[in-house]
């Protein structure tokens, strides 16, 4: 690191003109004009800066939850920054609860009924540099699922017939997992003839006498409520069939009709289901009517009764047909699958520092199906509610700020929304003024062939970007010599160096408000090299 006022010895050639003394500290000479802004700045590791503040950044985000008791209400929101941010919550757009420092987990109080926590919540983290916020999350309050007392069901049917044992678990925003078991808690065997549908019912394509039993029990597991309910108990009696019926024509339990429409969201897991009935047990085949199954992300499951898409994509959009058949006929169903997408980021704006006077463009590129709309906020306040500023404009999905000032430092929010949801980003725009510093190392001596050119390097940093100029020890500007040329990075080139008298070399870097003076380099012509 270069220390101000240390002197370096260099040599300037005999043929150099003897220039009059010019005092470089004259600001009219040093500060011709403001530097042009050229984008975000990054502080070099050797730049000495103290007490640099940090805008708030949220590190732990809340998620939508379904709760059944006060103990379940647990919305997390943590943030860091300098100064430490304060955390607060808004429920349905109204301030809610008390303010905390750094961490603001929202929990219930004993005096408050859990039902009163139903609503939409946002977390806000604020310090003197701005306010960050989270997406809106939803808290749903439900009673723990219970079932009314029911009598055990009894069903009778003949061999070869088809039958459905229904479950009908209590409704919940978090659908239960269904398990058909016997009274010893052993699962009922599943096959192409007997299977549990997506609706939780137990389907028999055709009955055998061995299907008779008095303990078909449907259990509904609610993971969110930590509850398992015995919903249904069925006694099934299969009667001998004395009719001479060699078989039954294929039909479909599920789905009903000839076609149906499925709207799927990109990234979801989707299952198309065909459950047939008939005797003998029908086989099920699938095809993509406008392509082949090899071209999509599906796989067959559950004895070919399910066509499952894990992480479905828009390339899986199209028409799918299931065909169930046996020796007595067939049945088909067409699924029209449309894949749309909740908003997702194509390009996320990054947190950056900027110098005063720059033009800043925040690009917020999101996609989705349908295409999302983009809205902007400043410190959690919608842009439409903020005072107008001629320096600020929106072009497409970009927010542009011209001639930024330190007072423009804030947290900007970009939110993309369509009918399937919304996503939100906080972007820290930090406009800083940092005094210029010369970062070049001391003690460097250049040995140059006599008559050759030499480049003296000077690395500097500041905000706004500083100018650099050079002078001899008598404070005469080196730039007044025709053999000297200055590059934009602060390096100066001296052409045609020859042996001669010794000079002290100074370098200055400066902005409109600050001046830093240092002597970073020496050079030594040597005709023996």
The CA distance from 441 to 346, in Å, is 42
The answer on 455 and 519 residing in a single domain is yes
Q: How much of the chain is helix, strand and coil, in % rounded to 5?
A: 5, 50, 45
The CA distance from 337 to 309, in Å, is 11
Residue with tokens 């096959």: 191
Q: Is residue 409 part of a domain?
A: yes
Q: Is residue 148 part of a domain?
A: no
192 with 305: CB under 8 angstroms?
yes
| pLDDT given for residue 477 in this prediction | 80
CATH number at residue 485: 2.60.40.10
Tokens coding 143? 């009673």
Q: Into how many domains does the chain fold?
A: 5
Q: Is residue 47 part of a domain?
A: no
Tokens coding 140? 């749903």
Tokens coding 524? 């030594």
The answer on 292 and 219 residing in a single domain is no
Q: Is residue 517 part of a domain?
A: yes
The answer on 217 and 167 residing in a single domain is yes
Domain end position, chosen among 199, 216, 239: 239
Show pLDDT as tens, one digit a residue, over the chain (529 residues).
Answer: 333 322 333 333 333 333 333 333 333 333 333 333 347 889 998 888 888 999 999 999 999 999 888 778 889 999 999 999 999 999 999 998 888 887 788 877 777 888 889 999 999 999 999 999 999 999 999 988 887 777 789 999 999 999 999 999 998 888 899 999 999 999 999 999 999 999 999 999 999 999 999 999 999 999 888 899 999 999 999 999 887 667 899 999 999 999 999 999 999 999 999 999 999 999 999 999 988 999 899 999 999 999 999 999 999 999 999 999 999 999 999 999 999 999 999 988 889 999 999 999 999 999 999 999 999 999 999 998 999 999 999 999 999 999 999 999 999 999 999 999 999 999 999 999 998 888 887 667 777 777 788 888 888 888 888 888 887 767 778 788 888 888 888 888 888 877 654 455 666 666 655 555 554 444 444 443 3
Nearest in space to 519 (alpha carbons), one of 11, 9, 25? 9
The answer on 216 and 192 residing in a single domain is yes
| pLDDT given for residue 21 in this prediction | 31
The answer on 513 and 468 residing in a single domain is yes
The answer on 522 and 438 residing in a single domain is yes
Domain end position, chosen among 380, 404, 431: 431
- Sign of the CA dihedral 251, 256, 259, 261? negative
Q: Provide the b/e sequence for 303-342 (b: ≥16 CB within 10 Å).
A: bebbbbbeebeeebbbebbbbbbbeeebbbbbbebebbbb
434 with 512: CB under 8 angstroms?
no
224 with 180: CB under 8 angstroms?
no
Residue with tokens 């065997």: 189
Strands (E), 202-303: 202-204, 213-222, 227-239, 248-254, 259-265, 270-273, 275-279, 283-288, 298-301
Q: Is residue 43 part of a domain?
A: no
The answer on 322 and 252 residing in a single domain is yes
| 509 beta partners | 468, 516
The CA distance from 354 to 286, in Å, is 58
Tokens coding 471? 């002078």
Q: Coil, strand, or helix at residue 96?
A: strand
The answer on 63 and 133 residing in a single domain is yes
The answer on 517 and 440 residing in a single domain is yes
280 with 292: CB under 8 angstroms?
no
DSSP-assigned letters across all residues of 118-164: -EEEEEEEEETTEEEEPPPEEEEE-PPP-----PPEEEEEETT--EE
The answer on 61 and 32 residing in a single domain is no
Q: Is residue 439 part of a domain?
A: yes
| pLDDT given for residue 39 in this prediction | 73
The CA distance from 355 to 37, in Å, is 7
The answer on 32 and 91 residing in a single domain is no
Nearest in space to 13 (alpha carbons), one of 472, 451, 505, 444? 451
Domain end position, chosen among 431, 461, 490: 431
Q: Is residue 147 part of a domain?
A: no
| pLDDT given for residue 512 in this prediction | 57
329 with 250: CB under 8 angstroms?
yes
| pLDDT given for residue 7 in this prediction | 30
Nearest in space to 446 (alpha carbons), one of 438, 460, 456, 433? 456
The answer on 279 and 222 residing in a single domain is no
Domain extent for 282:
248-338
Tokens coding 258? 């000839």
| Cα atoms found within 13 Å of the Cα of residue 345, Cβ hemisphere only | 12
Residue with tokens 């069939």: 241
Cα dihedral 23/28/33/35 (nearest 10): 40
The CA distance from 442 to 46, in Å, is 13
- Sign of the CA dihedral 119, 125, 126, 129? negative
Residue with tokens 């023996």: 528
Give, for 29, the enclosing helix (H) or strand (E).
helix 27-30
Q: Is residue 46 part of a domain?
A: no
The CA distance from 483 to 453, in Å, is 9
């Amino acid at each position: 690191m270069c220390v101000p006022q240390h002197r370096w010895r260099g040599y300037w050639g005999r043929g150099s003109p003897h220039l009059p003394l010019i005092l470089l500290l004259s600001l009219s000479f040093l500060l011709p004009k403001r530097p042009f802004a050229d984008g975000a700045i990054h502080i070099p590791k050797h730049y000495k800066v103290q007490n640099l503040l940090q805008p708030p950044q949220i590190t732990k985000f809340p998620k939508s939850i379904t709760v059944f008791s006060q103990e379940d209400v647990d919305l997390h929101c943590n943030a860091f920054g300098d100064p430490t941010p304060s955390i607060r919550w808004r429920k349905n757009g109204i301030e809610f609860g008390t303010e905390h420092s750094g961490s603001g987990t929202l929990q219930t109080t004993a005096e408050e009924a859990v039902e009163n926590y139903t609503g939409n919540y946002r977390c806000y983290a604020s310090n003197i540099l701005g306010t960050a916020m989270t997406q809106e999350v939803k808290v749903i309050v439900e009673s723990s699922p219970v079932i009314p007392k029911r009598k055990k069901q009894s069903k009778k049917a003949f061999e070869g017939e088809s039958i459905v044992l229904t479950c009908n678990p209590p409704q919940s925003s978090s659908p239960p997992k269904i398990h058909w078991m016997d009274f010893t808690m052993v699962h009922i065997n599943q096959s192409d003839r007997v299977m549990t549908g997506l609706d939780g019912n137990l389907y028999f394509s055709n009955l055998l006498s061995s299907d008779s039993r008095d303990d078909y029990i449907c259990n509904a597991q609610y993971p969110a409520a930590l509850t398992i309910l015995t919903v249904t108990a069925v006694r099934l009696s299969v009667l001998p069939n004395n009719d001479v019926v060699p078989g039954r024509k294929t039909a479909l339990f599920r789905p009903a009709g000839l076609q149906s429409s499925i709207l799927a969201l990109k990234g979801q897991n989707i299952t198309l289901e065909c459950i047939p009935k008939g005797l003998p047990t029908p086989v099920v085949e699938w095809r993509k009517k406008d392509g082949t199954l090899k071209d999509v992300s599906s796989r067959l499951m559950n004895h070919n009764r399910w066509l499952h898409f894990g992480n479905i994509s828009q390339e899986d959009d199209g028409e799918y047909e299931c065909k169930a058949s046996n020796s007595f006929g067939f049945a088909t169903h067409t699924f029209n699958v449309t894949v749309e997408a909740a908003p997702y980021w194509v390009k996320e704006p990054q947190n950056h520092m900027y110098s005063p006077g720059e033009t800043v463009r925040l690009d917020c590129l999101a996609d989705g199906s349908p295409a999302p709309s983009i809205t902007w906020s400043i410190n959690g306040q919608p842009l439409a509610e903020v005072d107008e500023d001629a320096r600020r404009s929106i072009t497409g999905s970009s927010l542009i700020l011209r001639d930024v000032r330190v007072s423009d430092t804030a947290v900007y929010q970009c939110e993309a929304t369509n009918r399937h949801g919304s996503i939100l980003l906080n972007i820290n725009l930090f406009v800083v003024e940092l005094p210029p510093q010369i970062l070049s190392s001391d003690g460097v001596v250049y040995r140059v062939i006599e008559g050759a050119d030499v480049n003296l390097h000077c690395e500097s940093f500041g905000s706004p970007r500083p100018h650099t100029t050079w002078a001899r020890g008598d404070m005469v500007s080196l730039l007044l010599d025709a053999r000297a040329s200055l590059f934009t990075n602060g390096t100066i080139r001296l052409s045609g160096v020859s042996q001669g008298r010794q000079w002290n070399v100074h370098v200055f870097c400066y902005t409109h408000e600050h001046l830093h003076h240092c002597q970073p380099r020496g050079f030594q012509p040597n005709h023996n090299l």
